[in-house]
Structure 1
Amino acid sequence: MGERPIDSVDENGRTPLSYAASIGYLDGVCCLLDCNAFAFTEYTYNRDRDGFYPIHMASRNGHINVIQEFLRRCPDSRELLNPKGQNILHVAAENGRANAVSYMLKIPELDNLIKERDKDGNTALHLASRYGYPKVVSILTWEKRVCLELVNDKGRTALDVVENYHYDLPSFQQRLTWQALRCATSST
């Protein structure tokens, strides 16, 4: 018996569900999840070669409606971690997806993700700071549940991460990120 299209995997180990999630194709995600219970269970929890689950792909690209659908149909998918030990909030913050971060902060069931650390001890705030996403940093620093003093495995706060850029001249984006953190830390 040949491989069904729903069972196919591309050269990156991505299933149709993972691909639909990555491009924000909500109707496709819903259709694939509706195919049958086995596919729902198998493909929702199937990592690609990079170790990302479909919900991570939606988070990486900021597809809030797809994230909502995964959380509605499979609430425990919020706990899935990629190989770096990152949850969906980490992934959204690391990729500068401000709308997705803002959405996740409004979901009470995702509260535990806020202070969760990846394998390097980084929170979502550390990652947004490291990659220079001032809008995400601002959203996170205005959130009362985010602790600005948490340190990663290198003993650095998010502000320390920004101040430790290894560039002669920081970019405008990096300077805005630094400014957002400086304002937040001076008001605490």
Structure 2
Amino acid sequence: MTDASGDTALAAQGRETPLYLPAESGFHDALINILESCKNQLMLQLLTHPNCIRSLWRWNKPLCEELDLWGWNSLHYAVKLGLEDVVSEILAWKKSLVYLPAGSENDWKTAIHIAASEGDVNMINELLNHCPDCWDTLNSNNQNALHVAVLHNKDKVVRFLLDSDRCDSLVDEPDSDDNTPLHFLAASGNRLPELINHPRAKKMSFNKQNQTPLDIALSCTTTKKKKFYDLAGICLCLSTLAVVIAFATGMFSTLSHSLGLAITFSSIGCLSILLYFITFTIGCYLYSKENVTEI
């Protein structure tokens, strides 16, 4: 197996691997023993040498169906690494692999969820080209690709899915906790007008905690305001303390005619002014956000 330059394809980026050595030396039996001794050598080589998968998968296609210790097969890793040509070849051979779960019995996802979490629009497009009906597959939490994209703040994937008419139903689909993608968007504090203003986005749908996306957005806003108020209070206390210290130091330096104390007094005074300025800035910010109630 050689590439365009005539080199053995199992040598990835000039580095010799356990597979490369017997292949280059012509020790076919040794190569077969290495492959057969691993449950899925294809996936192990994929993680460090993407070029190897192209040769190994052609050598023994059924390898891509086997799972590793974490419940992932070769297609899952190829999707995660963004190897579009490999994914295309694997799905051309067996489309059903796109629906197989990756992970454990209670925590799993499919190929399109992996692509969504990676923010790989091209990979999602590749999956949909081969398997147009995989767009609505769910993970172990009954979450679709749009849920996952919003959770991972992958705005490009969200926009890509929303631009497709066939993905409209993903917008208001609840997961196992009755959270829609809009619930997750509200919790993230992110603002995506394409999702917020989507015709199927239900701003008043309730999850199992009896919260609407609007409730979550307001709760997050309140939490952020509380943190800013706490920070402002700390800055105010520190600035007040700095003023007291500066005043005492200034009085002492005046009475003792100490240059060092005078410098210290000036430094603490500047610090107190800075802290007051920070407190004032935080107060202005909170005031400007006081009436924000929309998602």
What's the C-alpha RMSD, in Å, of the aligned pairs? 2.6
Letter in 2 for 1:33: L
Paired with 1:31 and 1:106, the residues of 2 have a C-alpha distance of: 27
Match for residue 156 of structure 2 among 88, 95, 99: 99
Letter in 2 for 1:70: L
Shift of 1:155: 1.5
Match for residue 116 of structure 2 among 43, 59, 73: 59
Shift of 1:55: 0.9
SS in 2 for 1:182: coil
* Structure 1 counterpart of 2:89: 31
Q: Write out per-residue CA displacement over residues 105-153 of structure 1, whole angstroms, 9 at most, x where no aligned residue.
A: 11111111111100100100101222x15144x4311323312122212
* Structure 2 counterpart of 1:16: 74
The runs of at least 4 consecutive aligned structure 1 residues that moved more than 4 Å come to 1-4, 165-168
* Structure 2 counterpart of 1:47: 101
Q: Contact conserved, 1:95 with 1:128, CA < 8 A, in 2?
A: no
Q: Contact conserved, 2:214 with 2:294, CA < 8 A, in 1?
A: no
Q: Write out per-residue CA displacement over residues 18-67 of structure 1, whole angstroms, 9 at most, x where no aligned residue.
A: 11212322122112222x23xx21x2111111311011100111111111
Counterpart check, 1:144 vs 2:199: yes
Letter in 2 for 1:64: V
Q: Contact conserved, 1:23 with 1:58, CA < 8 A, in 2?
A: no
Counterpart check, 1:76 vs 2:130: no
Length-normalised TM-score, structure 1: 0.79
Letter in 2 for 1:115: D
- Larger RCO, structures 1/2 (Cα 8 Å, 6+ apart): 1
Letter in 2 for 1:18: H
SS in 1 for 2:186: helix
Shift of 1:86: 0.4
Q: Which 5+ residue runs of structure 1 have no aligned equivalent?
A: none
Paired with 1:146 and 1:113, the residues of 2 have a C-alpha distance of: 10
* Structure 1 counterpart of 2:50: none
Paired with 1:135 and 1:23, the residues of 2 have a C-alpha distance of: 28
Paired with 2:143 and 2:171, the residues of 1 have a C-alpha distance of: 11
Letter in 2 for 1:105: L
Shift of 1:159: 2.2
Length-normalised TM-score, structure 2: 0.52
Q: Contact conserved, 1:21 with 1:66, CA < 8 A, in 2?
A: yes
Specify the structure having the higher radius of gyration (Cα). 2
Counterpart check, 1:123 vs 2:187: no
Structure with bigger helix share is 2
Paired with 1:162 and 1:11, the residues of 2 have a C-alpha distance of: 40
Q: Contact conserved, 1:89 with 1:101, CA < 8 A, in 2?
A: yes
* Structure 2 counterpart of 1:153: 208
Q: Which 5+ residue runs of structure 2 have no aligned equivalent?
A: 1-31, 41-59, 229-285
